[in-house]
């Protein structure tokens, strides 16, 4: 704070969570001079507690918020591109147990929309796994009533690894 007393900056960012840090980075890359003020420590707020998913927001499709899903998908692709050392593809397996016709239909449409809104993605394509392939991929799943699963990809920033390789 003292160092700011005798000079002005183009942009003052208050809060050093991911949003403040992201804004500061973006503005600095555009040539602006920045000061970032944090009352505790960087990432000491909500940013220290997430699941670290860089996801397209599959669940927002249920709310018909296609604009948000598309924006999330674009951000995901950008982050995979600019920070490949931090952001990694993450496969999800969505098992289906005795699904009703309506649920199957709804999920299929959801998957289709998720694909359409991320046509330019670099992540692997989604795949339907039959019952045997699902149990191959996830042997601990309860086989009773299992029909199969959708495997699709999002991304995540994994937990930092210690020098000895343990998470
Ligand atoms: C359980 C959980 C799981 C989540 N999972 C995900 C996920 O998988 N993927 C995802 O994208 N998002 C996830 N999120 C959401 C994500 O964590 C938040 O959207 C994000 O961290 C918000 O960042 P922020 O910078 O806005 O806020 P914060 O990280 O809270 O940063 C705000 C900072 O501002 C500082 N501050 C506040 N007031 C002042 C002041 N007056 N002066 C100086 N400094 C100040 C605070 O100290 C703090 O460091 C999750 C959140 C939770 C709680």
* pLDDT per residue as tens digits for the range 124-163: 989 999 999 999 999 999 999 999 999 999 999 998 754 4
Residue 13 lies in a domain: yes
For residue 43, give the 3-state DSSP assignment.
coil
Residue 146 lies in a domain: yes
Residue 129 lies in a domain: yes
Q: Is the CB of 110 under 6 A from ligand 1?
A: no
Domain that residue 18 falls in: 2-48
Does residue 30 sit in the same domain as residue 111?
no
- What single string gives the DSSP state of each residue in 88-105? EEEEEEEEEES--HHHHH
How many structural domains compose the chain? 2
In this structure, are residues 32 and 26 in contact, taking their beta carbons and an 8 Å threshold? no
pLDDT tens per residue, range 22-40: 999 999 999 999 999 999 9
Quote helix, strand, coil % in the chain, to nearest 5.
40, 20, 40
Give the pLDDT score at 161: 56
- Protein residue with least CA distance to atom 45, ligand 1: 15
**Among candidate residues 12, 32, 48, the one where a domain is terminated:** 48
- As beta bridge partners, residue 24 has none
Does residue 89 sit in the same domain as residue 145?
yes
Does residue 79 sit in the same domain as residue 19?
no
- Protein residue with least CA distance to atom 3, ligand 1: 50
């Amino acid at each position: 704070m003292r160092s700011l007393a005798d000079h002005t900056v183009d942009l003052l960012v208050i809060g050093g969570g991911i949003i403040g840090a992201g804004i500061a980075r973006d503005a600095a890359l555009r040539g602006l001079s920045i000061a970032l003020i944090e009352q505790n420590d960087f990432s000491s707020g909500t940013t220290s507690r997430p699941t670290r998913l860089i996801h397209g927001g599959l669940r927002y499709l249920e709310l018909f918020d296609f604009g948000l899903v598309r924006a999330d998908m674009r951000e995901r692709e950008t982050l995979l591109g600019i920070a490949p050392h931090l952001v990694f593809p993450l496969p999800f397996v969505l098992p289906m147990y005795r699904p009703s016709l309506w649920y199957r239909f709804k999920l299929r449409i959801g998957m289709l929309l998720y694909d359409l809104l991320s046509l330019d993605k670099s992540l692997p394509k989604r795949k339907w796994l039959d019952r045997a392939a699902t149990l191959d991929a996830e042997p601990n799943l309860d086989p009773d009533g299992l029909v199969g699963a959708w495997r699709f990809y999002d991304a995540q920033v994994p937990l930092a690894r210690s020098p000895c390789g343990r998470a």
